[in-house]
Amino acid sequence: VISEEQAKKIIAGGHEHLFTDATGTYTSFIPDKSIFKKTIEFEYRSIKTRVRERAYLVPKLYFHLSDETSGESTNFYFESGIKSLVDHLNTHKKALHDVVYMTGSETVEGLKIGVEVAFQYNDSFSENILSFANVIRTYDGGTHLTGFRTALTKVIKDYMTKKMGDSKNKIELSGDDLKEGLTAVVFVKMSSSDIQFESQTKAKLNNMEAQSAVYSIVKAQLETYLEEHPGEAKKMLEKAELAARARMAARAARDAVVRKGVLEGTTLPGKLADCQEKDPALCEIYIVEGDSAGGSAKQGRDRRFQAIFPLRGKILNTERARLDKIIAFEELKNLIVALGTGIGETYNADRLRYHRVILMNDADVDGEHITTLALTFFYRHMKEVIEGGYLYIAMPPLFRIEIDKKEQYVYTEAERDTILEANKGKKIILQRYKGLGEMNPEQLWMTTMNPKYRMLKKVKINDALAADEIFTVLMGDEVPPRKKFIQVNATQATLDV
C-alpha cells in the first residue's frame, strides 16, 4: 500500500511498478472563457480531494496528480479500496474492532446495482459517513444511505434481542444510538442512464432500488458477520449501550431544564440581547467573548436585526463530551436556547432563529481558542448551520492608525507595514487592539458590525475528510498527532507577544 506521503514506486504482485512508456489515453482541454467568465484557475486542493476519493473507490489503481504551475505533486494508490478509506478516517481515533466490509450486487426491478459498504466503530462520540454513487460524492446522502442505516439498526437490535432476550438489563436501542462513533463508507454502482439524483448538484441519490439493494446485502452479510465474530459483535453492542445510556441521561437532563422553562417555550436566556426583527433570514447573532466586549457590542449594534450573546469564559470542548455533559454546561445550554434549534434528538435546523451566526472574539491566542471551541461545537452538533452557510467569523481590526488626525483601521500586519512605509515622516499614532473591549461601541460598530464596512469569513466545509481529521487531531485526547501537527505547521504561527 502506498500513501501520498511515500509514493515513489508501487510494489504489487512482487513487481515494482514505475513510470514507463506504456500506451494509454492522454486528454487535454482549454476552458472556454466565454463560459468560465469569472476564473479559469484550478484549485489544486479541490482536485486533489476528488482524485484521492477516486483512488479509494477504485482499489489498486495508481493515480498521479501534478500541478505544473506550483510544482506540487501527489500520488495515490490504495490496495483495499473503501476499507482503506475507513482506516484513514479513523487514523487518529481508537478503533473498537476491525473494519467490516460487505459487497455484492442485486437486481431490483430490472436494475442491477453493485454495493460496497465498509464500517468501523471508534471511541469518539460523533458519526462520520461518506456516501458515493458511481464515484460521485453524495454529500446529502440519499436512498443508499437510508438502506445502510435501516439494515444496521435492524441487525444490531435483532442481535441484542437474540442474545439478551427479555433480560431486565436489556436496553432499548434507537437508530441514533448506533450513530455514535460510527465511521462508514457506502458506495453503489449502477448504469449511468438509470441513476437518479435529487437535483443538478447530484448531492443526493433518489433511486429507491438502491435502498432495497443496500438493505438486502448489508442485512444478510452483517447478520452472518455478527454470528461468526461474537467478540466484535460484543464491542458494537457495548458501544451502542453506552450511547443509549448517555441518550437517556441527556434526555433526563434536558427534561429537567425543560421543566424549569429553559430549553423550550418562549423563555430566552437573560444574557441574550435579542433583536427586534423576527424573520430569521434578516437576523444575525454575535456570539461574543466576555461581558466587556458584550457590553460594547450591545451598545454599538443595530438592535433592529442584530442580537448579542456574550460568553463567559471558554466553553466546553465538545469533541470528547457526551450530550448530557453539553446540556449541563450553562453557557452552551443558553446558547442552544438562543439559537432555537434544540440539540440531539430534538435538533431541528429549520428552527434556527438567525441566518447569520457570527463568532466575534479577540484577535489573540485566547480569542482564537474560544473560536476553535465554538467551531468544534457547531461542527459536531450543529453541522447543518455550517452547511447552510449560516456560520461566520468576524474579523475585527488589529490596528488603529491615525495619520495627521485622520484615522483608519487595519486588519493585517502586512497592510500596516505598507501604510507606515508610505507615510514616513508624518505624525503617526499606532494602536494595537489586543481585545474587543479596547474599542468603544462606535468603533466596534464601524469596524466589525456595520454591514457596509465589516469583514466576515464564512465558515465552509470544503473537504469533509480533512475537516473531521483536523477536529480530531486538535481537539481530541491523543497528544502525538497534535504534537506532529504543531511541528509541521509551526512556521505558519503568528506569535502574540
Q: Give helix 464-475 / helix 82-89 axis angle, nearest 10°.
A: 30
Report phi then psi at 106, rounded to 5. -135, 145
pTM: 0.68
- Could you tell me the pLDDT band of residue 169, with boundaries at 50, 70 and 90? low
For the 269-397+443-461 domain, the top CATH level (class) is alpha beta
Active-site residue, 21 included: no
**Annotated active-site residue in 180, 324, 362, 469:** 362
What pLDDT is recorded for position 439?
A: 85
What pLDDT is recorded for position 293?
A: 77
What pLDDT is recorded for position 20?
A: 58
For the 85-252 domain, the top CATH level (class) is alpha beta
pLDDT mean over 376-396: 92
What pLDDT is recorded for position 4?
A: 43
**Annotated active-site residue in 289, 324, 331, 468:** 289
pLDDT in tens, 232-250: 999 999 999 988 888 887 7
pLDDT in tens, 206-223: 999 999 999 999 999 999
Active-site residue, 364 included: yes
pLDDT mean over 390-418: 89
- Kindly tell me the burial class for residue 417, based on how many C-beta atoms sit within 10 Å of its own C-beta (0-12, 13-18, 19 or more): exposed
Every domain of the chain and the residues it spans? 10-79, 85-252, 269-397+443-461, 399-432, 465-497
**What 3-state class would DSSP assign to 285?**
strand
Does the structure show a pLDDT above 50 at 7?
A: no
CA distance 56 to 82: 5
Of residues 471 and 127, the one with the higher pLDDT is 127
What pLDDT is recorded for position 419?
A: 92
The C-alpha cell of 215 is what? 438493505
What pLDDT is recorded for position 312?
A: 84
**Annotated active-site residue in 232, 366, 387, 477:** 366
What pLDDT is recorded for position 1?
A: 38
What pLDDT is recorded for position 159?
A: 92
Cβ(354)–Cβ(339) under 8 Å? yes
- Amino acid letter at 402? E
Of residues 186 and 250, the one with the higher pLDDT is 186
Active-site residue, 87 included: no
Active-site residue, 67 included: no
pLDDT mean over 320-331: 86
pLDDT in tens, 432-470: 887 787 888 998 999 999 999 899 999 988 766 677 777
**Annotated active-site residue in 255, 364, 402, 413:** 364
Report CA 294 to chain centroid distance, whole Å.
28
